[in-house]
Structure 1
Amino acid sequence: MARLYKLYKEEFCPERNINPVSLYVYEKIFKSYDPPLAFYKPKKDQCAKCNVYKCAEDKTSLQRDYDEHKAREKESLEMKAYDKNESIEGDGTKRVITFHLQAILSVPHTAVSKILYLQKFFTYNFTILDNYQNTGLCYMWDENNGKKAALNWFNFIYLTDLPENVKTVTSFSDTCSGQNRNKYVTLAALYAVINVPRLKTVNLKYLEYLEADCIHASIERARKHKKYLLQETL
């Protein structure tokens, strides 16, 4: 809102020779519309099927598949909302989490031409968002210490570090078979249930958009505006 008001005050008003109102009045007018105005926040990972439908000139042939897709999406989101409410309002024995692997973070991150086209050092970030505590955990490692397959162990590490009263964990992730929907994640969950006496059930459910993506967006937004000091010798 402050950035929008700054553009209004320094560009819009001078061009039209208008005296700007105060920030308080500006915000009040901004929020007075019906329906109210709001800032759109694009999803980090967008659905390919939805994008194909929205960009198609002739939607007739795609309409049926799109409607079925949206119906499944609605059903899965309602299921997730139910599980979250049951966890938050319950006795603390149930946890709901979402987990996701962020896009590869290359190091160093810079726009300097001398480094831009050089080979980068890869860093991975596996994120778990605990909806019960509303906290995020980031497990990070570099390519010297493992590849993407290492994220399966972080599922197990999280499950074994839960409080003693937690008996059921329901996890939501996307449908990427290489990262989440595979036998290794299933085996990690099964291994945790067998070897952690207090843990009775681990549910694995899959969605197309995850709340954990908001953590990745925050990281990349902060990284984008970070200034790095580089030596001329590079």
Structure 2
Amino acid sequence: MGAVGCRSKFCLSSTKRHCGEFEEEDRQAIFKNFWDFPSWSARQSFVSLLTCVGEKKIIKNHAMGNPIEYYLKKKDGKKLQDRARAEKDEDKKSALSLHDESMSVWTFDTQSVILCPQTKASALYFRTKLQVHNLTFYNNCTRDSFCYYWDESEGELKAGNFASLQYYHFKTFLASNPHIKTLVLWSDGCLYQNKNACLANCYSQLALESKVDLFQKYLAVGHTQMECDSMHSVIERNMVCDIHTPNDLRIVMETARRNPSPYFVKQIKHTDFKTMSTSRFNSIRPGRKAGDSVVTQLSHIHYTSTGQILYKVFHENEDWRNLPVRIANIAKEDVEWKPMYSSRLKIT
């Protein structure tokens, strides 16, 4: 799969390698898309999406166990991107077409780190600057937008913090909109933010408490532009004055947009981060043995109102499958939310 195609005489005569099934145009498209990704982790995810695994037919009870074979599928990154975007647009159309407004579609992402203080005076220097993080939510149906920001003395960038904020936001939204029965959430596939067991436990708890069907969907790797990204650019363009403290950022965010309504802004303190007292499951890996699908390949997760968890691997007409994990039978009333931090964090 290099810049030059396979020229092996054995491959031309072999009936096992199937090199002839890939035309030069297909090979060039895969090669170009692979190198277009900005990092090796993104390229690895791209390859995993193009690969399927099967077991070789061998003699029963063979000493070497069950060897596996890897097959390359004729799918390129652009098609994966197009399918994901088309599905996101279709979700929005479906939500807007319902007269009872029982479906809501959201996109969310974390803005790039904002350094504080910021000033236009080039003569001012600081030995250290405070890092500020901003988690944004965008309602694709109503265009309502929310900003939850905190600095590094109030909380870290870890899975539990993002899970706590996402649970709080959607719990508040569903409490004020009891007619919502289907919640669709689109995001990128960042593992510690959006694709981990900690967040999955929170979403499962939310689906049980609010009696909704919650769908968590991921865009294709390297093509994660969403509606909520417009919030980031609007906020950055509004940073025209000096910013000395994180409190100044609140004014910047609240005045960044006027129509259809200003952004809702909440400054998060360390006391706002909570953690679940217990977990129903410890993994969201869709496979159990070597060669099975892994977490990075997940494209859909469905949390039902009865506690069941289903998943898909590709953005196509694939059947929903049960997540192969053991789910503990814990009543929703037995789950408590405990403070994650007892005090503010030291800046190192």
Q: Is TM-score (shorter-chain normalized) higher than 0.5?
A: yes
Does residue 226 of structure 1 match 2:241? Answer: yes
Instruction: Write the mapping of 1:29-44 to structure 2, written as runs, cut at 5 A.
Output: none
Does residue 217 of structure 1 match 2:218? Answer: no
2:148 to 139, 153, 156: 139
**1:160 positional shift:** 1.2
**1:51 positional shift:** 9.7
Does residue 72 of structure 1 match 2:80? Answer: yes
Alignment gaps of 5+ in structure 1: 1-48, 56-63, 230-234
Amino acid at match of 1:170: V
Amino acid at match of 1:83: D
Amino acid at match of 2:228: A
Amino acid at match of 1:171: L
Retained in 1: the 8 A contact 2:111–2:133?
yes
Query: Paired residue for 2:67?
Result: none
Q: Residues 156-180 of structure 1: CA distance to partner in whole angstroms, max 9, x if unpaired? A: 1122122110111110001111211
3-state SS in 2 of match to 1:184: helix
Compare the two structures and name the one with the higher helix fraction: 1
Query: Paired residue for 2:90?
Result: 82
Using a 3 Å threshold, how does the CA distance of structure 1 residues 110 and 205 change in structure 2: closer, same or farther?
A: same
Using a 3 Å threshold, how does the CA distance of structure 1 residues 54 and 129 change in structure 2: closer, same or farther?
A: closer
Amino acid at match of 2:95: S
3-state SS in 2 of match to 1:151: helix
**1:110 positional shift:** 2.2
**1:111 positional shift:** 4.5
Instruction: Write the mapping of 1:1-234 to structure 2, written as runs, cut at 5 A.
Output: 52-53=35-36, 68-90=76-98, 91-113=100-122, 115-149=124-158, 150-161=161-172, 162=174, 163-196=177-210, 199-207=211-219, 208-223=224-239, 225-227=240-242
**1:186 positional shift:** 1.4
Using a 3 Å threshold, how does the CA distance of structure 1 residues 118 and 69 change in structure 2: closer, same or farther?
A: same
**What percent identity do the matched residue pairs reach?**
24
Using a 3 Å threshold, how does the CA distance of structure 1 residues 65 and 210 change in structure 2: closer, same or farther?
A: farther
Retained in 1: the 8 A contact 2:107–2:187?
yes
Distance 1:65 1:122 in 2: 43
Retained in 1: the 8 A contact 2:107–2:186?
yes
Distance 1:76 1:139 in 2: 27
Q: Please, what is the CA RMSD of the aligned residues?
A: 2.8
Retained in 2: the 8 A contact 1:50–1:66?
no
Give the total of aligned pairs.
Answer: 171
**1:210 positional shift:** 1.6
3-state SS in 1 of match to 2:193: coil
Distance 1:77 1:106 in 2: 32
Amino acid at match of 2:216: L
Alignment gaps of 5+ in structure 2: 1-31, 39-71, 245-348
Using a 3 Å threshold, how does the CA distance of structure 1 residues 53 and 146 change in structure 2: closer, same or farther?
A: closer
Distance 2:73 2:235 in 1: 35
Amino acid at match of 2:165: F
Q: Residues 138-162 of structure 1: CA distance to partner in whole angstroms, max 9, x if unpaired? A: 0111222211232211211122122
3-state SS in 1 of match to 2:155: coil
Provide the TM-score with structure 2 as the length reference.
0.45
Distance 1:116 1:213 in 2: 30
Retained in 1: the 8 A contact 2:95–2:104?
yes
Using a 3 Å threshold, how does the CA distance of structure 1 residues 70 and 116 change in structure 2: closer, same or farther?
A: farther
Amino acid at match of 2:111: Q
- Larger deviation, residues 206-215 vs 115-124: 115-124
**1:80 positional shift:** 0.4
Amino acid at match of 2:195: R
